[in-house]
Structures are given as structure tokens and as C-alpha cells.
Structure 1
């Protein structure tokens, strides 16, 4: 299947990542559906996207006509099976829980057309751990976007040992059609490229903080002013979501069994307090 055969894209999950992936797809000319199990989640996603698009129009980044046309192509639905039965490419952006994803992929496989590709946006759960849950392992891969999806250009495309070359080529070309820069991995590695590099920096930053070497605020300042990163590692965790950071580490631990994969104690403490960062008003920093 080529990208010219793709007319309808479905995104499963209307969180920060899923909503933005859906918007990028619609802006790129594809009929797109964002699916979730809760209407309030869909309502929040719609409100967030309209706010962001209005701001982009006000700042001259997009035209009002382009945004209007994109929203005409974009739908929000609770009826997953009906939507997926009429789709060509599914991008799963659900919670980072391998059992939830495996169950979801089994369900998607039953209703999606035979030609449809089933991609996961997971940044840490490799698609080989999902492929054996479906009857089309050759059409399963990782298609990993970066937050904020509307701005970040990189998309990591990661095949597993069963993924066909056709699926790889189609996914890479779809990323390009979305206006992104695809990066193709030759084999699976939990965390892929960018997050493995980022995790190394984050791990060192948290160790410096937990060892009492420096306050997290000063570590962020050092990273921004000495390494010229746009955000410090603690600011980035707050933007990504402490819950996402925590669950990614737990998902990697489930795959590796290595205690070094577990989240740091300070991250665990914030997670248990439900202080997830910007989304809750407090994480490492207070946004209230």
C-alpha cells in the first residue's frame, strides 16, 4: 500500500499526543478521526486544538481557510469499531501499558480492513510485543511522534522482525506527507534514538538533584545556558507529563527486568502525589 492509497487516518486516544497527531493528519489533507472512550476527553481535545489553531491564525502561521478545511476533515468519535472499519492507517496513542495496548491491537485487528496498517506511537513499547496479538504482524510498526506534535519535525519509524518493507515504506512516506522528517531505525531498541539520548541526560540530572549536588532549577538553567537546550530536563518532564515519564520507565522495566530502568524516587514521589506537571498545575514547578 502506498500513501496514495491512504485517504482515512484514525488516531486512537485523544490526549495531548493523539489530539495533535490527528490535527497534523487533517492539516495534511487526510480525512481523520480521533477516537476515545470518554466524551469529556474528546471535548477537551477539540477545545485545545481550536485554541491552538486560532492562535496560529492570529500569529499568521496558518490561514483561516486552511484551518477551517482541516477541521472539516477532522472528526471526534466514541464509536471506535465503526470508525476503524473504514480506515486505512491506524495510529494508536493510548496509555503506556503493554497489556492495554495488546488488548487494543487485538480489537483493532478484528475490525480494521485487511490492508490497514496498525502503528503505535509508543516511545518505549516496541511493536514486536504487540504484533503477535494480531493476524497481520507484517502491518505493525512503531510510528513515534514528539511532543508538541504540531511543531516537532522528527518521527521515528521502527519496524519489528515481521514488519514488511511495504509497511515501512508507507509509514515513512506518510510521515513525510505529514510534513515531518522520518528517522528509520534498522532494529528495535526500547526508547529508540531520541529518548535513549534524552533519558541519559534526564537520569544524570535527577541523580545530581537527588544527591544534593544542585537544585533542579539550577540544573535546568545549566542545561539551557551551557548546552543551549531550549528547555531543561525538569521543565521538559513537566511539559511531557510526570505520569508519562513514570509509565515509560515502568514499561521499559517490564521489557528489560533491569532495576536501572525503574523511575527515580523523586519522579515516583511526584507521580504518587498526582503532580504531573503542567497538566495538573504542579510538578517540579508550580504553575498555579
Structure 2
């Protein structure tokens, strides 16, 4: 089992940029590729600011920061970025046709031994693997936001993912200083999000049934269950539309009414009340600092 030393991260949004920095901080060579030069520039700027804050807080030294940036290269040329890599981690837009097309390109451009991993939070590996000639080396590698901070990485095995691929991916996760959680049999939503979604769905049922207020449900989650924030607070933080689109996609796939977005969530999305980013969601953030 060869060591992974060179990483390609495709997509330079918030997740892709932070995954790339996590890899670089662990001493790996990292190529960051994106179709948009502006996105790459934004990623560079945001990572520079984040790393400076880490230096200021004493988490890393200035030398470690500088060394991490020397191990990174940014570019729009996928063929160039894919040369000699041991693993490609896809963090592109959550659209299955885009991912399948990208994985077909990665299959063609990366070395034969390279693992092709997807950071998708919603698509299982088998939805993507058959776009390649190496389904045994396709795996889910689901980081959580913010990737620089969150410890958990779900390693999702597709039906054709080999034992060696899974083992190498787990070893890489551990090298990054993260905790690998293996999903032995693929299922939409994997582990953490399925648990989270079950709590969210029950919270909405309690609210819509008139059993308790948003505030009461969130307070119970924090003070009885030890959650850092309640389900409604979390929806506001991540964006109510994110959960809406996830549920809508699941409903379109299964046709099961239980998988459809709830009425109150649909109402919020239609009114543009998507949480903190719009100033209002389950709570009102127009006077920031107050619910």
C-alpha cells in the first residue's frame, strides 16, 4: 500500500479550499483546481486570512503557515493539476451530472493508481463510480464544515470500493488529524446527516403539531441532550434552503411523502427567510446578537 503524498482538490469554494489547507498542513503536496480564476483568488485570500488568525492565536507558527502555502498550487488547468496525484478529492457543485462528467475526466487524467474521492454530502459513490473505469478506487470522503475545525470525516464505501481503497482513505484521514468514520454500506445522507435530519424532522413535527415553540425545542436540545445548538438554530446557521433542497431531491427520488419538505420549511423558503444569511429564519437576526 503506497503512501499518499500528492493530492488534487477539485473546487475552491469554502469546503474545497479548507480541505486543501488541511492536507497541506499535514505535509502533503496539494493542487487546487477550479474552472473560475476568481474563485481560486478568493480561496487564496480567505486561506491567507484564516492562517494569519491561526498564527495570531498561537495555533501554528509563521513558519508552518508559510510552508503550508509553498506546498499548495492553484490553477484552472485540470490536466496539469492531475499530474502525478495519488488521490483526487472532488468538492464541486452538488449536481450529479457535473460530478459524473468530472469523474470521467479525472479517470482519464489522473495516474492509474489514484483514488477518486467525492466530498458529496448527498450522492453515494455508486452514483458516480460507473462514470469511471476504476469503480474499485472510487470512495466517499465527506468532510464537515468548517473542514479546518471539524474532526469527523465519513469514509463511504460504494458496492465496488475495494478494501485497499477504504484502508488508504482511512489512513489519509488519520494523517490529516481527523477521525475517520467508515460507512460500510452506502446510504443517502450517510451517518451524521441522517441522525441530524431525524432530529430536525422530529423538531419540525413538534412545532407544526403545536406541541412546543421553536425556543422550547432548541432549549431542550441544548440543555437535556447537550447539543451545542438546537435544530432550529442549526437550520438558521446552515441555511434553511439547504435542508429544503436535500429533502426535495430525496422526495423526487423516492416519491415518499415523508421525504418531502415540510410545510413550514416550504413557507420559509418561499418567503426568502433562509436563516442568518438573509437576516431572518426561525429567528430574527436583524438586530444581530438577539434571536
TM-score w.r.t. the length of structure 2 is: 0.88
Q: What is the SS of the residue equivalent to 2:205?
A: helix
CA distance in 2, matches of 1:47, 1:41: 10
Q: How far does the alpha carbon of each residue in 1:128-184 deviate from its partner, in whole angstroms, 9 at most, with x for none?
A: 111111111111011111122111111111111111111111101010111111111
1:202 to partner: Cα distance = 0.7
Partner secondary structure for residue 153 of structure 2: strand
The change in CA–CA distance for 1:84 and 1:163 in structure 2 (over 3 A counts) is same
CA-atom RMSD, angstroms? 2.2
- Pair 1:235–1:40, CA change in 2 (3 A): farther
Q: Which residue pairs with 2:161 in the alignment? A: 163
| Equivalent position to 1:41, from 5, 19, 39 | 39
Higher relative contact order (CA 8 A, sep 6+): 1
Task: Kindly state the Cα deviation for residue 210 of structure 1 after the two structures are TM-superposed.
Answer: 3.3
1:14-53 matched pairs, under 5 angstroms: 14-53=12-51
1:38-82 Cα distance to aligned partner (Å, 9 max, x none): 233223322322222222222222222111211221222222232
Tell me how far apart the structure 1 counterparts of residues 242 and 47 of structure 2 sit (CA, whole Å): 20
Does the aligned pair in 1 maintain the 2:32–2:81 contact within 8 Å? no
- Partners of 2:270 and 2:35 lie apart in 1 by 24
Residues 268/14 of structure 1: CA separation in 2 closer, same or farther (3 Å cut): farther
> 5+ residue gaps in structure 2?
287-291
What's the counterpart of residue 88 of structure 1? Answer: 86
Q: Which residue of 1 aligns with 2:220?
A: 222
Aligned counterparts of 1:235 and 1:212: Cα–Cα separation in 2:
19
Residues 234-273 of structure 1: pairs in structure 2 closer than 5 A: 234-272=232-270
Q: CA deviation at 1:278?
A: 4.3
Q: Rg bigger for which structure?
A: 2
Tell me which of 114, 130, 136 is aligned to 2:134.
Answer: 136
Task: Say whether residues 1:145 and 2:140 are aligned partners.
Answer: no
What's the TM-score, normalizing by structure 1? Answer: 0.89
Taking structure 1 as reference, are residues 262 and 40 closer, same or farther at Cα in structure 2, changes over 3 Å only?
Answer: farther
Aligned residue-pair number: 286
* Distance in 2 between residues matched to 1:209 and 1:132, nearest whole Å: 42
